[in-house]
Amino acid sequence: MSRQIHIVCLSGTREKLQMAAMVASVGAASGDDVTVFFSMNALAYFIKDNTVDAPVEGEFGMKLSDKGVPPFRQLFQQAAELGDAQLLPCSMALDLLEITGDDLEPGFGKATGLTKFLMDAEGAQLLSF
């Protein structure tokens, strides 16, 4: 039986985005049902053609790039493509950023409100980054 993992991704720092992406990709590749809810500072990094890299919190964030660790954008994409993870943009964040779901990178699902996300996450493992 697979686990249900729901991830709230709201930070805009490289380390937290990277950890959220690693949890999502490993969980999805392991057959778990993974849903990632992107909001606040995290969502802007997934707007099409945004090549700005997330700022680092400390030395470890620099090592991620220096050592060739697959970047968080790639890991989230792999989770969606290979493991069928759901990547959901926060409807409020889309409104505040004045964008639509069409402005996001491929792989994102339908805009979702926090209330619906939390209702769907009932009984699941809930992680926040």
Instruction: Report the pLDDT value the prediction gives residue 1, as an integer from 0 to 100.
Output: 60
Q: List, for residues 28-70, the tens digit of each pLDDT value.
A: 999 999 999 999 999 999 999 999 999 999 999 989 888 889 9
Q: Where are the domains of the chain?
A: 4-128
Task: Tell me the percentage of the chain whose pLDDT exceeds 90.
Answer: 88
Instruction: Report the pLDDT value the prediction gives residue 68, as an integer from 0 to 100.
Output: 83
Angle in degrees, 0-180, between the axes of helices 72-83 and 14-29, rounded to the nearest 10: 20
CATH number of 4-128: 3.40.1260.10
Q: What are phi and psi of 44, to 5 degrees?
A: -60, -25
CA angle 41, 38, 8 (to 5 degrees): 100
What length is written for the chain?
A: 129
Q: List, for residues 8-26, the tens digit of each pLDDT value.
A: 999 999 999 999 999 999 9
Instruction: Report the pLDDT value the prediction gives residue 2, as an integer from 0 to 100.
Output: 82
Residue with token string 């954008």:
73
Residue 86 has pLDDT above 80, yes or no: yes
Q: List, for residues 100-122, the tens digit of each pLDDT value.
A: 999 999 999 999 999 999 999 99
Instruction: Report the mean per-residue pLDDT for the chain.
Output: 94
Whole-prediction pTM: 0.94
What whole-number distance in Å separates Cα of residue 21 and Cα of residue 12? 13
